[in-house]
Amino acid sequence: MKQIGIIDYGMGNLGSVSNACKFLGLDAEIISAPSQMDACRAIILPGVGAFGDCMAHLTEHGFVSPIQKWISAGKPFMGICLGLQALFQTSEETPDIAGLGIFKGSVKRFQIAPQLKVPQIGWNAVTQKKPDSPMFAGVDDGAYFYFVHSFYVAPEDKSIVAGETDYGLKYCSAVWKDNVFAVQFHPEKSQAAGLQMLKNFGARD
């Protein structure tokens, strides 16, 4: 069986994602070149940092078109944190830099009450909007996951919203459409619920 590829494009939480996959017994390898995607059955795009830097690194490493083709071919794909945001068209963080454009919509900065700190750092609940999503199998509605972010995605197509979280406002914290599942939180740092989600992804084919 082919492996799960974790894309290394120069920035990302590679170690924790890789370690979580290994803990679950999933055959996962960090890949740094698009040619290595041929040996993969599923792809994870992790990420921490700024939207513009992410897209610059993906472009520099030649991943933009291969990721777009992978997703359009219907192969399993998971985005984590910045890996979710990169799937959209634009971000308020760097308005002049285009995202992957898999989903229509933008990435917005939190404009919330001053007593709520930005970035949001810590545990928060995810309300399942698509409980039939295979990614939520065995995960309780309202389960807590670990977040670190100052921006959130605002999809134009509300039907792709798989999970919502409340932090001064209700925002989309997970999307799911066909072969693509992406989350704002870090499942690899979210203990039992997050590991279950990664296990579910590992079972996709």
Please answer whether residues 11 and 49 qualify as being in contact, where contact means their C-beta atoms are separated by less than 8 angstroms: yes
Tens of pLDDT, residue by residue over 31-79, are 999 999 999 999 999 988 899 999 999 999 999 999 999 999 999 999 9
Here the tokens at position 167 are 């932090």
- 9: confidence class by pLDDT, cuts 50, 70, 90: confident
| pLDDT at 78 (0 to 100) | 98
CA distance 171 to 154: 7
Please answer whether residues 54 and 82 qualify as being in contact, where contact means their C-beta atoms are separated by less than 8 angstroms: yes
Here the tokens at position 169 are 């406002």
Provide the 3-class DSSP secondary structure of residue 141. Answer: coil
pTM of the model: 0.96
- 12: confidence class by pLDDT, cuts 50, 70, 90: low
Catalytic residues: 81, 186, 188
Domain 3-202: which CATH class? alpha beta
Mean pLDDT (the chain) is 95
Q: Which residue carries 């001064």 as its tokens? A: 168
Here the tokens at position 153 are 């995605």
